């Protein structure tokens, strides 16, 4: 089956600096596709290129089997998007906003359809109220209603929980799951919140400094059978050279300034520890982890700003 979104070798440079660097990924129909990375990792830039708001420096983007550069209008008609905070008319009511955006999309709005759309996102009871009286969560929900007004095949949400309180985050999570499971929408969700991506996504992409770190099924990436084992050692670079001559080379995922990171079954940890000692590697500590947080940090080689990913 052809992917709904196919990105190949995508790069974007600003003043010579690569914000997105040779990025390739695919989104299948029906995915809730988590796009995960630290703030500044290149997520928003990538999304803006998908929506033709930014021109790539190089690379290719295909959506619905069509080249984005050649079939821009046809493609964008099938996409709904909310980029950070939705652009709404605060002096109009929620209903008036939705009606206006429907007409701008070339749709003749029917009152019953608009009310049904507001019911879908859970704000029908505030349909007549001015948007300036809405909470941030309600504005986000109205933004999604606007994005859905033309019944798109693909929905792109860039940091949809930014600025929301815990209840607002839970409501947004449930709405995304409803759109996926009951309306069968394909959704790309960009976020820096590990916990949210873990709860809603079927597949995900992790990027760091504009580069792809890993892509795959969420269930397999954090499968306990594929435990992340971090061995803290005195000289990681020298230890990595020794490991490459052993059976553990296939399990070595990355080398950080202070440790070696392996992916293997948890029951293999004692054998790994024994073999590293036999190689003459001084082990300061060895830890087995399988949470998404641990996986992310092992890939990016960073232990800083953990709170920013677990709020």
- The domain locations on the chain are 5-220, 223-290
Average pLDDT, integer, range 80-99: 92
The encoded tokens of residue 295 equal 């996986």
pLDDT tens per residue, range 112-142: 999 999 999 999 999 999 999 999 999 999 9
Q: Which residue has the higher pLDDT, 221 or 157?
A: 157
pLDDT for 305 equals 37
Rounded to an integer, the average pLDDT of 42-61 is 95
Tell me what pLDDT residue 304 has: 41
306 pLDDT above the threshold of 70: no
What's the confidence (pLDDT) of residue 105? 86
The predicted structure's pLDDT at residue 229: 87
pLDDT for the residue 252: 92
What is the percent of the chain where pLDDT is above 90? 66
pLDDT at 209 over 70: yes
- The Cα 200–Cα 157 span in angstroms is 13
pLDDT beyond 70 at 303:
no
Q: What is the pLDDT of residues 10-39, one digit of tens each?
A: 999 998 899 999 999 999 999 999 999 888
> Predicted confidence band at 309 (pLDDT cuts at 50, 70, 90)?
very low
The domain made up of 5-220 is a member of CATH 1.10.3370.10:
no
Residue 72 has pLDDT above 60, yes or no: yes
Closest CA to 84 of 174, 161, 197: 161
Contact 160, 277 (CB under 8 A): no
Q: For residue range 241-291, list pLDDT tens digits in order.
A: 999 999 999 999 888 889 998 888 888 999 999 999 999 999 999 987 765
Which class is 223-290 in CATH?
Answer: alpha beta
Tell me the pLDDT band of 307, cut-offs 50, 70 and 90. Answer: very low
For residue 308, the model assigns a pLDDT of 37
Comparing 5-9, 41-45, 74-78, 223-227, the range with the smallest average pLDDT is 223-227
> Per-residue confidence at 301, pLDDT binned at 50, 70, 90?
low
Question: pLDDT tens digit string along 90-102?
Answer: 999 999 999 999 9
Mean pLDDT confidence for 176-190: 94
pLDDT surpassing 90 at residue 302? no
What residues pair up with 232 in beta bridges, in sequence order? 259, 285
Q: What is the pLDDT of residue 38?
A: 84
Write down the pLDDT at residue 299. Answer: 67
**Residue 55 to residue 37: CA distance in whole angstroms:** 21
């Amino acid at each position: 089956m052809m992917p709904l979104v196919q990105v190949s070798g995508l790069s974007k440079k600003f003043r010579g600096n690569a914000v997105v660097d040779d990025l390739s990924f695919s989104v299948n129909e029906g995915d809730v596709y988590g796009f995960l990375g630290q703030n500044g990792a290149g997520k928003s830039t990538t999304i803006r290129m998908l929506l033709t708001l930014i021109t790539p420096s190089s690379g290719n983007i295909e959506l619905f089997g069509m080249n984005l550069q050649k079939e821009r209008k046809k493609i964008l008609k099938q996409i709904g998007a909310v980029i950070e905070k939705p652009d709404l008319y605060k002096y109009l009511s929620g209903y008036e906003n939705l009606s206006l955006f429907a007409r701008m999309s070339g749709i003749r709005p029917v009152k019953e359809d608009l009310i049904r759309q507001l019911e879908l996102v859970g704000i029908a009871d505030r349909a007549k109220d001015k948007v300036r009286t809405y909470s941030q969560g309600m504005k986000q929900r109205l933004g999604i209603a606007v994005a859905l007004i033309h019944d798109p095949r693909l929905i792109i949400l860039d940091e949809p929980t930014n600025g929301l309180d815990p209840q607002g985050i839970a409501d947004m999570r449930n709405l995304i799951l409803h759109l996926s499971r009951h309306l069968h929408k394909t959704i790309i969700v960009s976020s820096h919140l590990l916990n949210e991506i873990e709860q809603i996504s079927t597949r995900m992409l992790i990027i760091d400094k504009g580069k792809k770190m890993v892509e795959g099924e969420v269930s397999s990436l954090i499968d306990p059978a594929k435990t992340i084992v971090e061995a803290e050692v005195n000289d990681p670079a020298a230890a990595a050279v020794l490991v490459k001559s052993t059976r553990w080379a296939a399990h070595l995922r990355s080398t950080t300034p202070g440790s070696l990171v392996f992916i293997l079954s948890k029951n293999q940890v004692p054998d790994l520890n024994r073999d590293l000692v036999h190689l003459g590697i001084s082990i300061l500590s060895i830890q087995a982890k399988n949470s998404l947080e641990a996986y992310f940090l092992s890939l990016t080689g960073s232990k800083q700003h953990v709170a920013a990913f677990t709020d």
